[in-house]
């Protein structure tokens, strides 16, 4: 493939059928925006230049594109006068730098793969064409531009749905909207476009007719996996693409050595990394940049976003975000790991435990019914059931530290800031307001009082009433 490659990403349309304040290409599936998926595919081509055409809600779209691809050039299409006008704006933004091959892609095709674009561009270069069209065959071509071929099978043009005859509408080979051009031809052809059509727009696809009239080579690259070129114009189509993308991601994970017990109830974002021999049980969502190491078991019924799960760990019926679970550790069921949680190797966060900004050391345990917020727990310590790390004084958050090998009783409250030393213990029901030295026992409850004959006296009082 030519190293002199420019890619134009069309992302100017508003997508009114989404009925949303969010620009169409910014709607998300599989953990990325639609245009984010496209930019990932474009990056895989290793182009020399990328220019993105923005228009509607440019203040949202432009920064988002630069977040994914900082080297991209942004070109603003002030008036949405068609794809031909959009590409003209793109080339003008490059100031004549576009030479060699120009590939034009649309920003709402989230299933698009980099290897498909590379194969398309390589074929275009090898055939030395003026124009190449990425095409596919679909059972229902409604809404797509149709590929017009002559009796010999050569491509003669593309006709848009609104301009097609009844006979042409029966053609099942469609234009994906992704085209490749010789840059010199494209610059010249854009100047010859007119908007004399049913849409009153400048169609980029009219360059095919211009090339044919000039006796230049035009060809089509038929993509077997035509779903890669599907876009979403409304939320129904977006959901369908999301399901298809997830099916592909889950399938790739299984082929790479991951056990997914129920693919139908498992959702895995595109940027999730799963090592071989991970097991995913039913009802799980692995989102964002989550990483799961080998032999870990996730689920059932767990949602993890931007989490790192260590080798051999077990996470059951848990919601976690921006958390780290160490090797061989166990979490759940019904645990809530909030951002900043780190659980050490072989540690435990048990049933109905919530953690936030908490570092829990190797082999330490918070078994059940506790809140651990803004805390640091050393190694080999055990936090009793029903313990509350009271981190908020009404104005500021404060930290609690628990040393190594500490054992705290049930129904404790640690009023931060407070420190519990190594090998220290606390009694059941203790409220810890002052630091506990190493090896000490802290208790705060008074001595137990037993009132004899309480039930008999209670019955006498109730009888008097």
Q: Residue 262 in 3-state DSSP?
A: coil
Closest by Cα among 365, 407, 369 to 387: 369
DSSP H/E element including 209: helix 206-213
Sort 282 into a burial class: Cβ within 10 Å, 0-12 / 13-18 / 19+: middle
Q: Residue 13 in 3-state DSSP?
A: coil
Report residue 312 as tokens: 């051999």
Report residue 95 as tokens: 């100031």
Residue 159 forms beta bridges with which residues?
Answer: 146
Rg (CA), the chain: 31
Q: How crowded is residue 214: how many other Cβ atoms within 10 Å of its Cβ? A: 12
- What CA–CA distances, in Å, run from 251 to 117, 248, 289, 464? 21, 5, 18, 75
Q: Residue 333 in 3-state DSSP?
A: coil
Report residue 305 as tokens: 């976003």
Cis amide bond preceding 417, omega within 30: yes
Annotated catalytic residue 368: yes
Residue 121 forms beta bridges with which residues?
Answer: none
Report yes or no: 107 and 25 within 8 Å, Cβ to Cβ: yes
Query: Rounded to an integer, what is the distance from CA 356 to the centroid of its chain?
Result: 23
Report yes or no: 22 and 95 within 8 Å, Cβ to Cβ: no
Report yes or no: 112 and 41 within 8 Å, Cβ to Cβ: yes
Cβ neighbours of residue 227 closer than 8 Å, sequence gap 6 or more = 111, 244
Report yes or no: 221 and 134 within 8 Å, Cβ to Cβ: yes
Report yes or no: 86 and 207 within 8 Å, Cβ to Cβ: no
Rounded-to-integer distance, Cα 290 and Cα 242, Å:
18
Which residue of the set 37, 64, 319, 368 is catalytic? 368
Query: Rounded to an integer, what is the distance from CA 24 to the centroid of its chain?
Result: 16
Query: Rounded to an integer, what is the distance from CA 239 to the centroid of its chain?
Result: 14
The DSSP letter of residue 191 is T
- Dihedral sign from CA coordinates of 219, 222, 223, 226: positive
Closest by Cα among 401, 305, 317, 389 to 352: 317
Instruction: Name the residues annotated as catalytic.
Output: 368
């Amino acid at each position: 493939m030519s190293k002199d490659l420019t890619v134009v990403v069309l992302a100017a349309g508003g997508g009114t059928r989404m009925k949303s304040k969010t620009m169409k290409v910014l709607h998300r599936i599989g953990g990325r925006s639609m245009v984010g998926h496209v930019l990932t595919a474009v990056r895989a081509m290793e182009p020399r230049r990328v220019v993105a055409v923005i228009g509607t809600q440019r203040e949202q779209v432009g920064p988002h594109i630069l977040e994914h691809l900082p080297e991209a050039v942004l070109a603003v299409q002030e008036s949405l006068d068609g794809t031909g006008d959009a590409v003209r704006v793109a080339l003008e933004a490059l100031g004549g730098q576009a030479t060699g091959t120009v590939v034009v892609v649309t920003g709402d095709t989230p299933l698009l793969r980099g290897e498909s674009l590379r194969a398309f561009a390589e074929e275009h270069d090898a055939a030395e064409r003026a124009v190449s069209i990425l095409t596919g065959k679909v059972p229902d071509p409604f809404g797509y531009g149709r590929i017009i071929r002559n009796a010999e099978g050569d491509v003669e043009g593309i006709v848009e749905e609104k301009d097609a005859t009844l006979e042409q509408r029966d053609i099942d080979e469609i234009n994906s909207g992704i085209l490749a051009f010789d840059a010199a031809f494209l610059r010249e052809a854009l100047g010859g476009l007119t908007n004399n059509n049913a849409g009153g727009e400048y169609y980029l696809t009219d360059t095919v007719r211009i090339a044919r009239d000039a006796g230049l080579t035009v060809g089509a690259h038929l993509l077997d996996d035509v779903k890669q070129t599907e876009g979403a114009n409304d939320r129904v189509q977006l959901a369908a693409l999301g399901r298809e993308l997830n099916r592909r991601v889950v399938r790739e994970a299984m082929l790479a050595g991951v056990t997914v017990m129920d693919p139908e109830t498992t959702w895995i974002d595109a940027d999730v990394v799963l090592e071989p021999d991970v097991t995913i049980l039913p009802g799980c969502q692995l989102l964002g940049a989550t990483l799961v190491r080998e032999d870990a078991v996730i689920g059932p019924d767990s949602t993890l976003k931007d989490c790192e799960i260590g080798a051999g760990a077990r996470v059951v019926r848990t919601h976690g975000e921006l958390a780290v679970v160490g090797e061989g550790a166990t979490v759940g069921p019904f645990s809530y790991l909030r951002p900043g949680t780190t659980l050490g190797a072989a540690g435990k966060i048990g049933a109905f435990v919530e953690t936030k900004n908490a570092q829990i050391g190797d082999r330490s345990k918070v078994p059940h019914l506790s809140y651990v917020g803004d805390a640091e727990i050393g190694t080999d310590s055990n936090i009793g059931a029903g313990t509350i790390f009271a981190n908020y004084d009404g104005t500021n958050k404060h930290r609690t530290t628990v040393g190594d090998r500490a054992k705290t009783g049930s129904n404790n409250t640690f009023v931060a800031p407070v420190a519990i030393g190594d090998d220290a213990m606390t009694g059941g029901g203790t409220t810890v307001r002052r630091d506990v030295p190493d090896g000490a026992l802290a208790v705060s409850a008074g001595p137990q009082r037993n009132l004899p004959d309480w039930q008999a006296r209670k019955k006498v009082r109730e009888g008097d009433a």
